[in-house]
Amino acid sequence: MSFRWRVRPTTGVAMGFLGVIVVGTVVLMLPWASRSTPTSFLDALFTATSATCLTGLITVDTAQHWSAAGQVTIMVLIQLGGLGFMTLASLLGLFLAGRLGLQQRLGASAEGRGVDLGEVSWVIRATIIFTLVVEVVVTVVLALRFHVGYGYSWGRSLWEGLFHAISSFNNAGFALYTDNVMGFVADAWVLLPLAFSLMVGGLGFPVLLEAYRRTRGILLGFHPRRWSLTARFTFVGTLFLTVSGTLLFAVAEWRGAFAHLGSPGAKILNAFFASVSPRTAGFNAVDYADFHPSTLLGTDFLMFIGGGSGGTAGGVKITTAAVLLAAIIAEVKGRDAVSVHGRSIEGRIIRQALAVLTAAVGMVGLSTMAILFLAPQFTTDQILFDVVSAFATVGLSTGITPYLPAPAQLILIVLMYAGRVGPLVLASALAGRSRPRQFEYPAERPFIA
């Protein structure tokens, strides 16, 4: 009698990330990973979780505490977390969309018809190749800038260019400077490559793959296929959030946190960078502790929404927000069906988006209340900012994270992990259920408002 233990794909994703975090914690606790004092278990766990989950929140100074080996470990964790998440999220999306049913594909392979498994392999290869190409390009640009503009040696320039390219493309937000990238506050040759890298990584590989196939078809003379709703939502949402965020930061902080920058060009550059980074890279060229509370609240919204699905960005994702917005518009207009760009959105998709949003709001709200109780010396604005940053895997902070008590830091660790794998696991689990009931209950209309 034989037993087989079947692990759901979503469970495999969660356990895989947990395994990487455990290994990373052990490595970071080794003596050679730090410069002087050994790293405590909590600091190592926090850093490993933050790196693997592409967050960027820190409890110890990345530049001062970690040795070269420790920084390499962090970079490897970021790459594994980003590349692994993009690959797994893309494949899960394809499986759940019905294009790559795993059991059927394995059966086809056994029969000698391995074309679909070849597509799986192609998706994995394409993800890896695209990731490496973007990271290499950004590495070269940054290395040239560090060498020519700041006089770094070629070795240091290449190392820092590589580290920040991987950190930016994977939307991690780790930097090799104590003040993150505040030393380059007026340097467009550093901030713009970082912004480009994190925006591309945050769009999501499924959207980038669709754009590539569409462009290739046009160049080969084929009639272009219509954009999917996922791609439309992602591109339009990214543009809207970037423009509106830039305006928010420029107007709110022109005479505030940006006042010391002097030239209008530097202020606009930093307004743009501050708009892009919360979704969800975590780099900061200006101290967020200097921002007005209204600006922090606006940043909370940007972090909470995040970037595209199947990419390295966190948050509830632009697609989730767009689906719910479409449902609200349809309800306001009195329409029975929710439709966008000539396509209808099924009710179960709306329920899935609502479930993801509700779970996210609940986690952020409960965590904020718990940390307020554990660390009453900090304001609600500060704690909410760091909680949203942890859940949305952003990494921005008002500077309170290292000073939070251990239980509060453990809450942020759970939030970072849940924020990275939770929405994917929840959405995939909901989408994977396809057991229609053979009966219906009588309908009743509860009173709303």
More confident residue, 306 or 121: 306
Helix (H) or strand (E) segment spanning residue 344: strand 343-345
What pLDDT sits at residue 91?
A: 55
Residue 111: band (very low, low, confident or very high) from pLDDT cuts 50, 70, 90: very low
Q: What percent of the chain has pLDDT over 90?
A: 51
Least confident piece of the model among 97-111, 295-309, 346-360: 97-111
Residue 63: band (very low, low, confident or very high) from pLDDT cuts 50, 70, 90: very high
Q: How many residues does the chain have?
A: 449
Whether 279 shows a pLDDT value over 90: the answer reads: no
**What tokens appear for 219 in the block?**
């160049």
- In DSSP notation, 237-302 reads HHHHHHHHHHHHHHHHHTTTTTGGG-SHHHHHHHHHHHHHTTTTT---SS-GGGS-HHHHHHHHHH
pLDDT digits (tens, 9 = 90+) for 115-173: 344 455 666 777 788 888 999 999 999 999 999 999 999 999 999 999 999 999 988 98
Which one-letter amino acid corresponds to residue 362? Answer: G
User: What whole-number distance in Å separates Cα of residue 214 and Cα of residue 104?
Assistant: 27
pLDDT digits (tens, 9 = 90+) for 215-240: 888 887 777 777 888 889 999 999 99
Q: Are 429 and 352 in contact, with CB atoms under 8 Å apart?
A: no
User: What whole-number distance in Å separates Cα of residue 332 and Cα of residue 403?
Assistant: 46
Please write down the HEC assignment for all residues of 371-432.
HHHHCCCCCHHHHHHHHHHHHCCCCCCCCCHHHCCHHHHHHHHHHHHHHHHHHHHHHHHHHH
Mean pLDDT of 27-51: 94
User: What whole-number distance in Å separates Cα of residue 96 and Cα of residue 99?
Assistant: 8
Maximum mean pLDDT: which of 13-17, 125-129, 348-352, 431-435? 348-352
Tell me, rounded to whole angstroms, the distance of Cα 84 from its chain centroid: 13
User: What whole-number distance in Å separates Cα of residue 367 and Cα of residue 394?
Assistant: 16
Q: What letter does residue 172 receive in the DSSP assignment?
A: -
Indicate the average pLDDT of the chain.
84
User: What whole-number distance in Å separates Cα of residue 154 and Cα of residue 449?
Assistant: 65
* Omega cis (within 30) before 312: no
User: What whole-number distance in Å separates Cα of residue 325 and Cα of residue 316?
Assistant: 13
pLDDT digits (tens, 9 = 90+) for 90-102: 555 555 554 444 4
